[in-house]
Amino acid sequence: MSVRPLPARAAVRAAAALALGAAATAWPAPAATAASAPGGSSAPGGSSAPSGDTVAFKIDDPRISESSGLAASTAHPGVVYTHNDSGGVPKIYALGPDGRVLAVLTLGGAGARDWEAMALGKDERGRPAIYVGDIGDNLGGAWPYVTVYKIPEPARIRSQTIRATKFRIKYADGPRNAETMMINPRTNRLYIASKLFGGAVYEGPKHLRTSGYNVMHKVGKAPAIATDGAFAPDGRTCVIRTYFGARMYAVKPDGRPGKSLGSVSLPFQPQGESITYTADGKYFLAGSEGDDQPVYKVPVPGTAGPSSSPSITATTKAEKKDNADQGHRDPSSTRTGLIIALAIAALVGYGLFRRRG
C-alpha cells in the first residue's frame, strides 16, 4: 500500500505507520487452530514456525521487498508468482518451491503505480493468463480509474518481456482504494474488494474490454481492511484476507462470493498483504511485505480429512467468536483492541487528509 507522500504530509503517513506498527508489535502470536498445520508438520522443503504453522518458503531475494500478491501456477507445478507493491517496475517474479527466483517476467507497455494483487485466469482463447491489479488508491479517490494488466502465462519459465494487455477499471459508485483482486476460475470473471471500513466486493463485466472503461458493480460485502483474496482452483470457495486473518466464502452458482464460511486464523505477519490457494486447493499461502519474509502454508478448513466439507466454519470453538479476520482472537484484551482501533483510525485519517489535500 505504498505511496510517495509530499514532504508536508510525510508526518501523517508516519503516524499511520507507527500506529499500525504498534498494533502489530502488541499482537500475540496465534496458537494452533483449525487453520494451523496438524502437529506442526512441514511441507516438502518447508519448516515449522513456532506456533505450529508451516513455512512453505522464504522470499529473501533483494529485488522483492514489498511482495503484495501471490498466485500459484497450475501450469507449472510448484511455481508461485509474486510482485512488488510499487516503485514503477512492472515485473512479475516466478518463484520455485524453495522461494528462489526462477525467472523475471517484465510486462511490456505496463506501468506500476500501485500494484496490489494478482490472479490467474484465462485469455480470450481460454489459455492460461496472469492478471495484475494496479488498483491501489491511497489518495482517497484521486485516480479517475485504475488498471488491470494481463499477460499470457509462459509455456516455459524463463526471464522475458511479454507485451501486456491493459484494462481500465472504474467503480459504479465512485473511486475506491483496493488491494484485493480475484478471478473466478469457472467464469473467468474479475472481482475486486475495496479496503477500509464498509468493505465491498465488486464484479466486473462478463468480458473485459481494452477500449473505454470496465465498470465494476457492488455485489457483496468484504471484511474491513481487506488486503488480498483468491478463488479456490475448483471455484467452490474464495478467501479474503486482512492484516490480522482471513475469511472464507462459499461461491454461489452465478460465480459470485456468497455466504461466509467462517474466519481463518493466520500466522502473525508484519504487513500481511498476500494470499492464494495452492494449486491443489488444500492450503493457503500467506505472505507479507518486507525483506526476508516467510510465506506460510495454512491448511484450508474443510479439506484436511475425508469427512470434511467446505461448508464448515473455519473458526474453532476455542476462539468463541468468528472474527479472526478482524484480529479479535482474545476478546478480553481491551488493550489490543484499542491499539488496533487507533491503527485503523490513523489509516482512515491519512486517506481523508490526502484526499482533501
Does residue 336 sit within a domain? Answer: yes
Domain extent, residue 14, equals 7-28+330-357
**Concatenated DSSP letters for 28-66?**
PPPPP-TTSPGGGPPPTT-EE-TTS-EEEEEE--TT-S-
User: Is residue 173 domain-shared with residue 109, that is, in the same domain?
Assistant: yes
Does residue 236 sit within a domain? Answer: yes
pLDDT on residue 346 = 53
How many domains does the chain contain in total? 2
Does residue 321 sit within a domain? Answer: no
Does residue 138 sit within a domain? Answer: yes
User: Is residue 100 domain-shared with residue 15, that is, in the same domain?
Assistant: no
- On the 0-12 / 13-18 / 19+ scale of CB atoms within 10 A, 19 is buried
Does residue 23 sit within a domain? Answer: yes
Q: What is the mean pLDDT of each run of 10 residues along the chain (357 residues)?
A: 41 41 40 35 39 84 96 96 89 98 98 96 96 90 91 98 98 95 98 91 97 97 96 98 97 97 95 97 97 96 55 44 73 41 51 46
pLDDT on residue 141 = 73
Does residue 323 sit within a domain? Answer: no
pLDDT on residue 108 = 97
pLDDT on residue 116 = 96
User: Is residue 100 domain-shared with residue 17, that is, in the same domain?
Assistant: no
pLDDT on residue 320 = 54
Residue 169 maps to which CATH number? 2.120.10.30
pLDDT on residue 10 = 38
pLDDT on residue 197 = 77
User: Is residue 201 domain-shared with residue 110, that is, in the same domain?
Assistant: yes
d(CA 288, CA 303): 24
User: Is residue 238 domain-shared with residue 270, that is, in the same domain?
Assistant: yes
Does residue 273 sit within a domain? Answer: yes
User: Is residue 123 domain-shared with residue 161, that is, in the same domain?
Assistant: yes
